[in-house]
Structure 1
Amino acid sequence: MGLRGQVRTRDGWAVQHAVVTMTDMTGAQVLRTGAEEDGSVRSDVALAPGPYTVIVTAVGYAPVASTALVTRSGRAEVGTVVLARQGGAELPPPGAWSLDPAHSSVGAVAQHLGISSVHGRFKEFGGRIEIAGDAAGGYEESRVEAVIAAASIDTGNALRDKHLKSPDFLDVERFPEITYSSTGLTPAGPDRWTVHGRLSLHGVVREVDLHLSYLGTGPDPWGGERAAFHATTELSREDFAMNYNQVVRAGVAAIGTTLRVELDIQAVRGESLPAV
């Protein structure tokens, strides 16, 4: 008795926030329920035998409507409903994409005095994304290369920025560039990926994973095509030989050893950015 089904993306991931609505042939709503964590739809509401319209919606996806037949047992099976991303492809089209620094940000957050946070950003950076694959798959072969000017750090305080550029931290005279080069890509959920790569910082190279969310693709005002991403990771300063650690009181460090990195990236399709 009731309704059964699954709601998935094109690449097979569950759409947990999907909403399923059933209406009878007069247009009257007879059932409304949400998908569970695994994308399954289960409702035990008693339904009279006959045809119904099933509408599946989810934020960011195009709605899907289909006809379901409720049997004499009062049960309807809608099978697997596949939702496509609203207004475009599930993932960016394959090819070269260039990072747009004017519409992107590279930020880091460190704990200060154990009670608050200091936010900083790098103002000069660039990079390239090579999207591999097609509708049949193969996105795992995509690649990312990025370069950040270490001396472009900006925390909104000139004295603090000078200290961060010194040998206590970034040592920008000896290590002017921070680089990241991906080595692989693993799907982690709907529109989410784990980017595996090598980060070179302060003369030390470490394996670092980025937790990446794909936000969508669309046209821009200059005739180009843009893709947007958000990525996060956490770094330990000590892993990159930045061991400055002034203790101010009761064992509390002035600056925490863990950095939370947040990236908001726009990339433009093509090998170079258009003139704006």
Structure 2
Amino acid sequence: MGLTARIRTRDGWAVSHAIVTVTDMTGAQVLRAEADAEGNVRDTTGLAPGPYTVVVTAVGYAPAAATAIVTGGRGRAEVGTVTLDRQGGTELPAPGPWTIDPAHSAVTAVARHLGFSSVRGRFTEFAGRVEIAPDEVEKSSVEAVIRAASIDTGNGMRDGHLRSPDFLDVEKYPEIAYRSTGLTAAGPDRWTVHGELTLHGVVRPVDLDLAYLGTGADPWGGTRAAFRATTELRREDFAMHYNQVVQAGIAAIGTTLKVELDVQAVQGESLPRL
């Protein structure tokens, strides 16, 4: 008898503080119950046969409504799983440290080539950490370090040139580092990350356009959060002035780089052993 329901976020987290209100077709409230620590509702109040409206509310989430039908003799409404959307967007990762997983992340740079095509490269060795603030997400932070010599464009000769003093000069500047200095909301699930990039011995402010893609369990017993971030860099801003003009003023390599970051971060201070 009564009401059963499971209250979850889009990412499967239990909403332990959810309130479930049941009204009949006249709008009169017939039942009110609170979810337990696992986001489950079990109320033994008997309900008369007929249709009911079930409204689920929770602080920080948009209300959700469902219809329940109680058939004769049972007096029970089985609502099933009710999914709540965070007000303002997707459910955020849990507060605390998250460790970037290089094996399931990508750091990519795209440059124009000969004025009409693109060359895409990636860095294969990097590490980083995200700290989700407990109260205000805008107080969260990120730090990352990339091994400059790990650049890979799929062409050994080109990679060697990129590692040379003409570009990254990896012998002199072996690491590329980024440290955030703040976050600004830019939409329901988007932020602008303000930070400082250290590249080729030069430190400059660089903003990242960040999208949060969601959180879920992984096959190794952990929890992962996914992010995508992009920015554009000018090589000249980081003292990389080399270029070769091939014809009529067309440069072999463009002066700007589009940087794309696809990141998976694992909850906790360290990565699991796979």
TM over 0.5: yes
Q: Look up the match of 2:148.
A: 150
How many Å separate the matches in 2 of 1:160 and 1:63?
55
The aligned residue for residue 168 of structure 2 is: 170
Report SS of the residue matched to 1:186: strand
For 1:148 and 1:83, the matched residues in 2 are separated by 38
Q: Give the Å deviation of 1:90.
A: 1.5
Q: Sequence identity of aligned pairs in percent?
A: 75
1:164-203 deviation digits (Å, cap 9, x = unpaired): 0000000000000000000001110011010000000000
Mapped contact 2:90–2:188 kept (Cα < 8 A): no
Equivalent residue for 1:264? 262
**Structure 1 equivalent of residue 100 of structure 2:** 99
The alignment partner of 1:260 has SS state of strand
Give the AA of the match of 1:182. Answer: S
Using the TM superposition, give the Cα deviation of residue 245 of structure 1 relative to its aligned residue in structure 2, in angstroms.
1.3
What's the CA shift for 1:64?
A: 3.5
Q: CA deviation at 1:140?
A: 1.0
Cα distance change of structure 1 residues 89 and 248 upon mapping to structure 2, 3 Å threshold? closer
TM-score (norm 1): 0.69
**In the alignment, structure 1 residue 115 sits paired with structure 2 residue 113:** no
CA distance in 1, matches of 2:231, 2:188: 19
Change (3 A) 1:89 1:188: closer
Give 1:34-49 correspondences, 5 Å limit.
none
Task: Write out per-residue CA displacement over residues 137-179 of structure 1, whole angstroms, 9 at most, x where no aligned residue.
Answer: x111111000000000000000000000000000000000000
What SS does structure 2 have at the residue aligned with 1:114? coil
Give the partner amino acid of 2:245.
Answer: V
Instruction: Look up the equivalent residue of 1:65 and give its one-letter code.
Output: A
Residue number in structure 1 paired with 2:273: 275
Q: In the TM superposition, what are the counterparts of 1:196-275 in structure 2 within 5 Å?
A: 196-275=194-273
2:134 aligned with 1:133: yes
> Aligned to 2:94, what secondary structure does the other structure show?
coil
What TM-score comes out, normalization by structure 2 length? 0.70
Q: 1:269 to 1:249 in 2, by over 3 A?
A: same
Counterpart Cα distance in 1 of 2:181 and 2:272: 28
Cα distance in 1, alignment partners of residues 106 and 62 from structure 2: 29
Q: Tell me how far 1:63 sits from its aligned partner.
A: 9.4
One-letter amino acid matched to 2:241 = N
- C-alpha RMSD over aligned residues: 2.7
Displacement, 1:133?
2.5
The one-letter amino acid of 2:169's match is D
1:66 deviates by 6.2
1:216-246 CA deviation, whole Å, 9 max, x = no partner? 0011111101000000000000000000011
- Higher CA-based Rg: 2
Runs of 4+ more than 4 Å apart? none
- Tell me how far 1:65 sits from its aligned partner: 3.1
Aligned length: 203
**Which runs of no fewer than 5 residues in structure 2 stay unpaired?**
1-24, 26-52, 54-60, 68-82
Tell me, yes or no, if the aligned pair for 2:90 and 2:189 is still in contact at 8 Å.
no
